[in-house]
């Protein structure tokens, strides 16, 4: 049995209502109030619950490169609708890269892929649709194996990139760990939440996770970091 299951994503924001408005518009979803200025982008009707994205307002501005991001599949090979919605185009495709690199209105990077080739057999999308969660890593194979041991799933590798498919609760095609030369230096602007199988994260800690914060009066979850320092929140099995 896995130690936990993937639950959802959380995106820090300087202006949560505005950033939630951008992402909910781009993804064709709605967002609801979640206390204070925080917002939650709800899954599409009938969508996977793991597609939920919390947008939490924080006092500190974004610094450094975005080390966790979503890859989107586009319905047409044109990122213009994303730019019209408020994204900034950072890089065009080139010989070694067939996708666009953009940033959202707060500077968080993300990638936009053209429609999948017909021979892949992937279903067409009607709007920009997440299909991968991408995490920068110093040792992609090791950290992918670590998360696959915690959440289940199968690890695959190619050209230094490692990815997990079939992690418990994971809503998208692949959870990708991409090699980068630089170590993590600042808090990730995007992180994931997990739902524990046990009543506490002891199994995660025994496997190498670090507890950054125990539950508090207004938050019944633990904040931990994985062996590469990526922050994540761990919720008890029956918490709301």
The full set of domain ranges for the chain reads: 4-235
**Strand, coil or helix: what is 203?**
helix
Strands 154-158 and 129-137: unpaired
Phi-psi region of 159 (alpha: psi -120 to 50; beta: other; left: phi over 0): left
What is the CATH superfamily name and number for domain 4-235?
2,3-Dihydroxybiphenyl 1,2-Dioxygenase, domain 1 (3.10.180.10)
pLDDT at 240: 64
pLDDT at 116: 87
The predicted model gives 210-232 an average pLDDT of 96
Task: Give the model confidence (pLDDT) of 158-208 as tens digits.
Answer: 999 999 999 999 999 999 999 999 999 999 999 999 999 999 999 999 999
Nearest to residue 225, comparing CAs of 143, 155, 139, 142?
143
Task: Give the model confidence (pLDDT) of 97-151 as tens digits.
Answer: 899 999 999 999 999 999 988 887 788 899 999 999 999 999 999 999 999 999 9
Tell me the CB-side half-sphere exposure of residue 213, using CA atoms within 13 A: 12
Query: How far apart are alpha carbons 161 and 7 in whole angstroms?
Result: 24
């Amino acid at each position: 049995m896995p130690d936990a299951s993937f639950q959802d994503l959380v995106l820090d924001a300087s202006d949560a209502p505005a950033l939630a408005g951008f992402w909910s518009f781009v993804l064709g979803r709605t967002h609801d109030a979640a206390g204070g200025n925080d917002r939650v982008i709800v899954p599409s009707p009938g969508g996977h619950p793991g597609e939920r994205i919390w947008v939490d307002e924080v006092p500190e501005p974004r610094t450094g490169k975005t080390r966790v991001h979503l890859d989107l599949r586009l319905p047409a090979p044109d990122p213009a609708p994303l730019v019209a919605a408020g994204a900034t185009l950072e890089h065009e495709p080139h010989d070694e890269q067939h996708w666009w690199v953009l940033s959202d209105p707060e500077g968080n990077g993300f990638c936009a892929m053209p429609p999948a080739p017909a021979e892949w057999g992937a279903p067409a999308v009607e709007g920009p649709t997440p299909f991968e969660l991408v995490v920068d890593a110093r040792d992609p194979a090791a950290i992918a194996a670590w998360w696959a041991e915690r959440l289940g799933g199968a690890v695959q590798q190619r050209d230094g990139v490692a990815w997990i498919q079939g992690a418990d609760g994971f809503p998208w095609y692949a959870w990708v760990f991409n090699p980068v030369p630089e170590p993590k230096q600042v808090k990730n602007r995007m992180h994931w939440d997990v739902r524990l199988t046990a009543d506490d994260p002891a199994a995660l800690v025994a496997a190498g996770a670090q507890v950054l914060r125990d539950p508090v009066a207004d938050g019944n979850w633990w904040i931990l970091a994985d062996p590469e320092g990526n922050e994540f929140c761990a919720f008890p099995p029956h918490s709301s």
